Amino acid sequence: MGDSDRRCSSSDEADGSDARRPSTPAPDYIGAAGFVILVSIQEDQTPASSITLVVFPILLGGIFLSNVVSSVVIATNQRIASEFGALSSAAWLLTIYTLAQSASQPLYGKLSDIYGRKVCLVFCWIVFGIGCLLVAVGQSYWHLLLGRAISGIGSAGKIALTSIIVADVIPLPKVAQYRGYVNLTATIARSLGGPIGGWLAGSVGWRWPFLIQLPVALAGLALVLWKLPEPKESIIEDNAEPQPTGSKISRVDFAGAAMLIGTVLTGLLSLDFSTKYGLGLVVYCLLGAFVLSLSLFCVIEKHYAKEPILPLELVFKREVLTSYSIVCFQAAGQFGLLYTIPIYFQVIGRESIASSSSRIVPVVVGNAFGTITSQRLITKTQRYKGLTAFGNLVGLVGFSLIFLRWRGSTRWFDALLVALPGTGMGVIQSTTFIHLAASLDRSEIAIAGASWFLAQNIGVLMGASISTATINYALRHGLETLLNGIKGRDEIIRNVTSNVEYTQNLPDHLWMLVSKAYIRAIACSNILSVGCITLALVVTLTMREKPLGG
């Protein structure tokens, strides 16, 4: 089914004519939100825009809540872990959430095709609320980690299904506009979550930010149940006969789903462990499990699955690989930068944790600007390839200037340079999803769109892990060289590499040497970011732009 079919409903309404209306329009839009809009247009003659005003804010509320929680944990994870005597494992509050999100996100595309968007959304809201509750009342660190994993599963679906529903029900020329709203909502949530979470944790305790999520999650669940009626049927193939509800479970590719989850988890864990602890028995075992899971997944999807959870022929389409690669490389470069910003200004500028963390704000502002600007340009011009290249170029210029300028300077101009990569990322998030929506058949968008988020999460973990490992290695090597012959060198190196705040109390002559080592280490990380964005730009040149208009 082509793009013209996807736009037929809105054009018919504008005409007031039934001449061009398809003979069987109901299956054209699957999922709850699509069903609401379609029925309202055809039966009640209500404009699609008025229905969107009801449906879309509910979806944005889910996006906002998921990103607020993530930002809260980023701001408070060390305080939370310290309360349980697990400071060295504080990063797991973030890592396990990302792993659960990455492993479950690709599944929602096919599952929502089978069960409908509403059923999956209800499941996601319930699971997300349960996860927040477990974190809020947890009495051990393992309870918290379990709650974070469960929250990640729920959050993954809310995020993926929002973009899938947008692609379902919004005319293709306007998808960029609505995707822009999604990205902007996430950006605002990330901006507010950290300060609010930090303030609440410092005043009434870290559990309250999670407890507050519960009534909000219940309200969101109620709105989903109230405003998103159950679709009449799910879609197997165009023109296929509807199946009874009891037979839906037989369509689920459980074996493929299990192997996909195993592949994602073992792959990401092997990357994370190898950069943190180096190669060892655990990493080799994880790599072996990754190869085995991936091989079994390919065999199952290719030869045995009647309805593959992630069809291989879809994954290896040129358009899909192009979008996935660009957003993955961009995310890797972006999150490598986000890791280095607070460190640079805390060490080189001797700023407080709060002050150095605020240096990320220009990235967020740039991301919002790139999102809004790109969605307007795409809507106006109906083109996106040139904009994708421009977004990569903006990011490349930004990272290059950071590499050249961050040699000890903390002036306002140098601090604002981080807005350029943020702007580039905002553009890329809009254009790569549009490329998927424009290039694929409607029946493929749900699965491909859900996996697009997996590609982005892989980039995030790659950027964070590789940047961390690069800085740690380069910093230790630089300190060993620069502090050679200084009394207590080994103890200084141990303290510097384990506690950033330690550098602020060093005598000036030692601080100068340590700062030089940090500058060199961060420069190495920035080189990797430049490389990632360069790869994204190269892939962009191979993009085959598809028409949006109509």
Q: List, for residues 341-389, the tens digit of each pLDDT value.
A: 878 888 888 877 667 767 878 888 888 888 888 888 888 888 889 999 9
Looking at the predicted structure, is the pLDDT value of residue 14 above 60? no
Q: Indicate the angle between helix axes 92-115 and 48-83, nearest 10 degrees.
A: 150
Between 52 and 41, name the one with better pLDDT: 52
pLDDT (tens digit per residue) in 407-418? 888 888 888 999
Domain ranges of the chain: 1-230, 253-306, 311-550
* Distance between CA atoms of residues 162 and 368, nearest Å: 18
Full DSSP string of 459-486: HHHHHHHHHHHHHHHHHHHHHHHHTTT-
pLDDT (tens digit per residue) in 444-458? 777 787 788 888 888
- Are 492 and 486 in contact, with CB atoms under 8 Å apart? yes
Q: Which two tokens stand for residue 86?
A: 């697990």
Q: Which residues contact 259 (CB under 8 A, 6 or more apart)?
A: 293, 294, 296, 297, 300
Looking at the predicted structure, is the pLDDT value of residue 306 above 90? no
Domain 311-550 bears CATH identifier 1.20.1250.20: yes
Host H or E run for residue 525: helix 508-541
pLDDT for 4 equals: 41
* Distance between CA atoms of residues 375 and 386, nearest Å: 13
**Architecture of the domain spanning 1-230:** Up-down Bundle (1.20)
- Would you give the distance in Å from CA 50 to the centre of its chain? 29
Full DSSP string of 159-206: HHHHHHHHHHHS-HHHHHHHHHHHHHHHHHHHHHHHHHHHHHHHHT-T
Residue showing tokens 């007031």: 16
Distances (CA, A) of 344 to 167, 300, 341, 423: 40, 47, 5, 21
Mean pLDDT within 165-183: 71
- pLDDT bucket at 43, cuts 50 / 70 / 90: very low
Q: How many CB atoms within 10 Å of residue 287? A: 18
Looking at the predicted structure, is the pLDDT value of residue 111 above 50? yes
pLDDT for 248 equals: 66
Mean pLDDT within 172-201: 71
* Distance between CA atoms of residues 348 and 340, nearest Å: 12
pLDDT for 358 equals: 73
Between 88 and 426, name the one with better pLDDT: 426
pTM given for the model: 0.74
The pLDDT > 90 percentage for the chain reads 11
Looking at the predicted structure, is the pLDDT value of residue 292 above 90? yes
Distances (CA, A) of 318 to 214, 325, 435, 528, 543: 42, 10, 11, 26, 8
Query: Does the fold of domain 311-550 match that of domain 1-230?
Result: yes
DSSP 52: H
The pLDDT > 70 percentage for the chain reads 77
- pLDDT bucket at 328, cuts 50 / 70 / 90: very high
Looking at the predicted structure, is the pLDDT value of residue 15 above 60? no
Looking at the predicted structure, is the pLDDT value of residue 401 above 90? yes
- Are 153 and 136 in contact, with CB atoms under 8 Å apart? no
* Distance between CA atoms of residues 360 and 547, nearest Å: 36
Q: Among residues 373, 375, 6, which one has the least CA distance to residue 177?
A: 375
Q: What is the largest CA-CA distance in the chain?
A: 88
pLDDT (tens digit per residue) in 116-130? 778 888 888 899 889
Looking at the predicted structure, is the pLDDT value of residue 161 above 70? yes
* Distance between CA atoms of residues 526 and 536, nearest Å: 15
Q: How many residues are given for the chain?
A: 550
Distances (CA, A) of 362 to 68, 336, 417, 419: 18, 16, 8, 5
pLDDT for 397 equals: 94
Q: How high does pLDDT run on average in the chain?
A: 76
Mean pLDDT within 20-34: 31
User: Where is mean pLDDT largest: 8-22, 44-58, 186-200, 328-342?
Assistant: 328-342
Q: Among residues 431, 402, 335, 396, which one has the least CA distance to residue 531?
A: 396
